[in-house]
Amino acid sequence: MNHDLLAVVDDHDFIVDYRPRHLVHAMGLKHRAVHVLVFNDTGLLFLQKRSLTKDINPGLWDTSAAGHVDVNESYDACAYRETSEELGIQPEQLEFLFKLSACETTGMEFVQVYRCRLNGPFSLAADEIDDGQWFEAAAISLRVNGNDPSLTGTFKMIWREFRAYTASAD
């Protein structure tokens, strides 16, 4: 797969062009991404601390695994690939939860969000992740509700939507 070329999409998430990643971000073009929430058997959520070398949100805490959907790749395939590449482990099953529309908070990305259950151990991708830790949902909610600047904006948006999604499922 070509990780440097991304599909540019319209307001309805239909592909309209292909552009290099750096231009897609520089021009604020809509494109596709996935985020995966990895919970363990005790209900803790694994968060990754983005590498300080990342061009977007360096050093901030983010979802367990995330990344751009490659050209000719589905959202589902990307979610499995990113989990494997970033955490060094292949989930048996990913559950699609919801989709966020492209907006400034998401970096103009349509984001499909998934959930899975894994206990690790993980082998973190050193070029992507500086650290990773397990967190309790209540502690995450406190940080998100307090607009903690150490969390990415996309993660805060995902967490709020996730809490609403799980509340409506109960």
Helices assigned H by DSSP within the chain? 21-27, 75-87, 137-145, 153-169
When the candidates are 3.10.20.440, 1.10.1040.20, 3.30.70.1060, 3.90.79.10, the CATH number that belongs to 5-169 is: 3.90.79.10
Q: What is the pTM of this model?
A: 0.94
User: What single-letter DSSP state applies at residue 69?
Assistant: P
Mean pLDDT of all residues in 8-37? 96
Q: What pLDDT does residue 1 have? A: 46
φ, ψ dihedrals at 34, nearest 5° = -125, 155
Contact (Cβ atoms closer than 8 angstroms) between residue 169 and residue 95: no
For residue 74, how far is the Cα from the chain centroid?
Answer: 15
Residue 167's pLDDT band, with cuts at 50, 70 and 90, is confident
Q: How many residues does this entry show for the chain?
A: 170
The mean pLDDT value of the chain amounts to 94
Q: So where are the chain's domains?
A: 5-169
With 80 as the cut, is the pLDDT of residue 73 above it?
yes
